[in-house]
Chains A and B, each alone.
Chain A
Amino acid sequence: MTTATDTPQDLTAEQEQFDRLIAEDSRIEPRDWMPEAYRKTLTRQISQHAHSEIIGMQPEANWISRAPSLKRKAILMAKVQDEAGHGLYLYSAAETLGTSRDTMTEDLIAGKARYSSIFNYPARTWADMGAIGWLVDGAAIANQVPLCRASYGPYGRAMVRICKEESFHQRQGFEILLELSNGTEAQKKMAQDAVNRWYAPSLMMFGPPDDDSPNSKQSMAWNIKRFSNDELRSRFVGMIVEQVKVLGLTLPDDQIRFNEETGKWEHGPLDWNEFKEVLAGRGPCNAQRLERRRAAHDDGAWVREAAAAYAAKQAAKRNELKEAA
């Protein structure tokens, strides 16, 4: 693998240019030369991110039909629709690295590509719409804000737009929980239960602990990743520990504390075995999520074929007209 730590005599002029751009914290653009490993890492990361947006639509889309007020229904529809939009920008960003959206989609539905494990947990109640917005989108924002400065231009620019919408999503999630928490006993119980279920999975969204995250170092050297998993996780804990008080709810972790020495927030142990199990496909909803994506793709094949055939016929007609003229 070519890395930024290669010895100078191995470097081509192109590699030197790439290294210089990275050292200056400048942007790499699609037409620039880049090491294969950089291209591969980014393709994997951006496509996984896109897949996460698309699979992540499902747990929330399930509640569109049952949203308990028309205003909430409209907001939820807009939110899930935004996620489809995010998937589209991200697939486009990944395509600039030379892999087609079709290939990425095929990899997803064949079960070869990964997406964020969090979406393999079920959204059992309406309060999950709040907890997903507050905790899952909140963790996503904590992860993604630094990605706005990622060295690969199209990715960084896509993230700027996505982060703006995500912060709206987080606010609306927070507001759902706030309303429930101030509501009836049953509503408050529903809210607390959802926070209890989504807390640990959302902390695990930042990825394994730093000493068990082999790819992080290279991503940081390439200015793709700016902060370590544990650093981001600690910041996120510091954020939600304050917000949960406003909600009038509690986090299911009595070991959260601010470490004066390190200046960092700490939390109780997380079940990394569960994380690995879900990642390996053995979570509560892995099979269901992929099946639904596959069904939508397969059932829609004839529609995409029709659109392509129509476009081809129209193009042929235009050519005929041109020749006749």
Chain B
Amino acid sequence: MSESNASATRITPGNALRPEDIAASDVRPSEAVAEYALRLGDDALILAQRLGWWISRAPELEEDVALGNIALDQIGHARSFLTYAARAWDKTEDDLAYFRGEDEFRSTHLVEQPNGDFARTIARQLVVSQYQFALYSRLVSSSDATLAAIAAKAVKEVDYHRDHARQWVLRLALGTEESRRRMIEGLILTWPYVGELFEDDSLVKELEGTAVLPSSLRESFDAEIHGLFAEADLEVPEVPAAVGGGRRGEHSEHLGYLLAEMQVLAREHPGATW
């Protein structure tokens, strides 16, 4: 199959930038930009790995399709960001996805949290899609043209993810007593991991104009959440923030299992192509 045929899977709609284009280009990011791209790519990859579990297990077939689509979009974003990052070290997206250890991953704790029930997955989706939407909306103006181009494609897709999550929050919160109880529980389990998304550190400060300062996204995130919660008769959970550190490679206990499963086959056959 040639690369052009891959569009039949809806992985690469239209003329949007594809990971293969990034791999083939001459643009090589600086070490710092690559480090930043790793963060965005790892968030998308780990989230996709979690969401992929739902395909064949969702509450209805339409959700198998919807969650599958979201996972597929996230894999697409991950591939682009990781391919770009990999160029700084003469590696490939797969070298980074399959042959890094747990402490080399730069994803936040939020995306590695277990799926739990559907409400917990939706709570995680709400937070991550609102965050990514705010982030990519700003990243389209990045001084780094590749990051801007990836964000331009991703923001349109993440806008749908945000709508999907918001629609489900309304349905679960205002549906039945049980769904409401589960939605609230899902939010309680998710909220400790919100704070980490908006933490600044020296890398993002150093990349002013290229990276988006996470703290600058908090206001619009809060406003959108408050608007939705008012409609859904929900409150922002008052729970202590978890200790983060994902951007420094300090992860929760969940990530090791996730990576073990994701990497097992590739590591069994080092050097093989697939």
Contact = CB atoms under 8 A, between A and B. Distances in A.
Interface in A292-325: 292, 295-296, 299-310, 313
B255 to A, nearest CB: 14
How many residues of B sit at the interface, in one of the four size bands?
Answer: 35 or more
Nearest to A50: B61
B52 A65 contact: yes
Given A73-B75, A84-B61, A168-B9, A68 B265 contact: yes
A175 interface: yes
Given A70-B78, A179-B274, A313-B174, A78 B11 contact: yes
Interface SS majority for chain B: helix
A78 B72 contact: yes
B53 interface: yes
B55 A64 contact: yes
Contact of B269 (A57, A87, A172, A187): A187
B8 A77 contact: no
Interface of A: 54, 57-58, 61, 64-75, 77-81, 84-85, 87-88, 91, 126, 168, 171-172, 175-176, 179-180, 183-184, 186-187, 292, 295-296, 299-310, 313
Nearest to B10: A78
B68 A77 contact: yes
A303 B121 CA distance: 12
Contact of B274 (A65, A68, A307, A310): A68
B61 A74 contact: no
B223 interface: no
A54 B62 CA distance: 12
Interface string B200-235: 000000000000000000000000000000000000
Considering residues B1, B63, B118, which has the most beta carbons from chain A within 10 angstroms of its beta carbon? B1
Contacts of B266: 68-69
Interface string B68-106: 110110011011001000000000011001100000000
Nearest to A164: B8
9 contacts: A70-B94, A74-B72, A74-B76, A74-B79, A84-B68, A171-B5, A184-B271, A296-B57, A309-B175
Nearest to B258: A65
B59 A304 contact: yes
B241 interface: no
B117 interface: yes
Nearest to B97: A70
A80 B68 contact: yes
Interface stretch (B31-39, B128-136, B176-184): B176-184
A310 B78 contact: no
Interface of B: 1, 5-6, 8-11, 19, 45, 48-49, 52-53, 55-65, 68-69, 71-72, 75-76, 78-79, 82, 93-94, 97-98, 117-118, 170-172, 174-176, 178-179, 182, 261-262, 264-266, 269, 271-274
A75 B93 CA distance: 15
Given A68-B274, A168-B9, A296 B56 contact: yes
A77 B55 contact: yes
Nearest to A62: B56
Given A68-B274, A74-B11, A183-B273, A299 B117 contact: yes
Considering residues A57, A64, A184, A306, which has the most beta carbons from chain B within 10 angstroms of its beta carbon? A306
Nearest to A296: B57
B60 A300 contact: yes
B69 A81 contact: yes
- Pairs A-B, 7 closest by C-beta atoms: A300-B59, A306-B175, A306-B179, A81-B68, A303-B59, A78-B9, A61-B56
Nearest to A75: B9
A70 B82 contact: yes
Contacts of B265: 66-68, 126
A91 B61 CA distance: 11
Contacts of B62: 88
Nearest to A179: B274
A302 B9 contact: no
Nearest to A311: B171
Contact of A84 (B8, B65, B76, B172): B65
Contacts of A295: 57
Contacts of A305: 175-176, 178-179
B56 A58 contact: yes
B79 A70 contact: yes
B272 A74 contact: no
B56 A88 contact: no
A72 B65 CA distance: 18
